[in-house]
Amino acid sequence: MLLLIDNYDSFSYNLYQLIGEVLLEEGRTDLQNPENPDIRVIRNDELTVEEIAALHPDGIIISPGPGRPADAGICEALVKAASLEVTPMRPFQTVLGAVNGPENPIREKSPSRISRADVAKDTAPGIGSEQEVFRWPPILGVCLGEQGICEALGAQVTYAKELMHGKQSIVTLDLTSPLFAGLGEKIPVARYHSLAVDATTLPEELTVTATADDGEVMAVEHRMRPIFGVQFHPESIMTPDGKDILRNFVKLTENTTAEENQTSARLNIRQRGRKDSAVQKERKSHDKGSHHQDRQQGGPLL
């Protein structure tokens, strides 16, 4: 089951429809069993992080939405939790405590709610041999969802260089990202946003995987977790390759272990290597004044 977190936005059900088409084409939809939906939609304040974990979703999609990502219910708390390891020495309740700040309260409940099918063997370097580790499924954030991923992990979200509501741009993709497998290096995408991530503030655990022709960050990927974000709208008809992008995400949720996701991430790190690190340093040397941080707050936000 895929879980779609609705940030009170009409685009959510466009995503729902297109993902449903992908699931049908991939043979992952049981049309005869309406009691076990292949896509479940919840509002961003409907469940806690722990309750979401207890659902054992195969994948999580964080929808677009109005306003700022910090106001999008449990979305940022979910991303923080999913970015952390949970081992016997760092139980799930401890991780909840790490993200249970006053801005994102999480009701703690019995860990027995999440004990079934939640642990897997991990022999990754630096973690230890045969440790039991809680596994979050792949996560995809769209527009506000992408901003929430970045902000949750330490980046700043500010005003975009240009108001982009219903406009199409050409973006350059990092084809080493599994999200963009099989696509061309440059594709047209739909943009509906007035906020954007300040690239100079991105944390080391996130890497940019798509950039617009105006230099705005259009996609990010976590280096060690299957967490992805796209600023553009793959569900729009102005993103002709959007269905293939969603298909790539769906494939990540099918018979894909956490170890395989982590291995893929490590391979991407080696492929990007020092070049990616140099780009990060160059971004941080730019004048942040060019990112409109001196503009007054207000106006429509997406």
**pLDDT over 60 at 26, yes or no:** yes
State how far the Cα of 24 lies from the Cα of 30, in Å rounded to an integer: 8
Specify the pLDDT at position 279.
Answer: 45
Per-chain mean pLDDT for the chain: 77
Instruction: Specify whether the backbone of 27 is left (phi greater than 0), alpha (psi in -120 to 50) or beta.
Output: left
Residue 187 contacts residue 230 (beta carbons within 8 Å): no
99 pLDDT band, cuts 50/70/90, is: low
* Of the candidate ranges 100-104, 145-149, 176-180, the one whose mean pLDDT is the lowest: 100-104
Q: Which residues pair with 165 in a beta bridge?
A: 192
Residue 83 contacts residue 154 (beta carbons within 8 Å): no
Specify the pLDDT at position 62.
Answer: 98
Structural domains of the chain, ranges and CATH numbers in brackets? 2-286 (3.40.50.880)
Q: What is the DSSP string of 134-160?
A: E-PPPEEEETHHHHHHHHHTT--EEEE
Specify the pLDDT at position 198.
Answer: 96
What is the percent of the chain with per-residue pLDDT over 90, rounded to a whole number? 60
Specify the pLDDT at position 238.
Answer: 97
Which amino acid type is present at position 246?
L
Residue 250 contacts residue 27 (beta carbons within 8 Å): no
* Non-local CB neighbours of 43 within 8 Å, separated by 6+ positions: 5, 6, 8, 73
C-alpha dihedral sign at 211, 84, 38, 25: positive
**pLDDT over 50 at 287, yes or no:** no
The residue ranking higher by pLDDT, 203 or 121, is: 203
Reduced to 3 states, what is the DSSP secondary structure of residue 129? coil
Is beta strand 217-222 parallel, antiparallel or unpaired with respect to 227-230?
A: antiparallel
**pLDDT over 50 at 242, yes or no:** yes
The reported pTM is 0.74
Cα Rg, the chain, nearest whole Å: 18
Specify the pLDDT at position 34.
Answer: 61
**pLDDT over 90 at 6, yes or no:** yes
* Of the candidate ranges 107-121, 221-235, 266-280, the one whose mean pLDDT is the lowest: 107-121
The residue-averaged pLDDT of 199-210 equals: 97
Specify the pLDDT at position 106.
Answer: 36
Q: Which residues of 27-47 are buried (b: 16+ CB within 10 A; e: fewer)?
A: ebbeeeeeeeebbebbebeeb
The residue-averaged pLDDT of 212-237 equals: 96
Specify the pLDDT at position 92.
Answer: 55
State how far the Cα of 168 lies from the Cα of 151, in Å rounded to an integer: 25
The residue-averaged pLDDT of 98-109 equals: 43
Other Cβ atoms within 10 Å of 240 Cβ, number: 13
147 pLDDT band, cuts 50/70/90, is: very high
Specify the pLDDT at position 111.
Answer: 30
265 pLDDT band, cuts 50/70/90, is: very low
**pLDDT over 60 at 202, yes or no:** yes
37 pLDDT band, cuts 50/70/90, is: confident
Residues taking part in catalysis: 143, 233, 235
Distance set, CA 295 to CA 26, 159, 266, 287, 299 (Å): 46, 8, 39, 15, 11
What is the percent of the chain with per-residue pLDDT over 70, rounded to a whole number? 65
Which amino acid type is present at position 137?
P
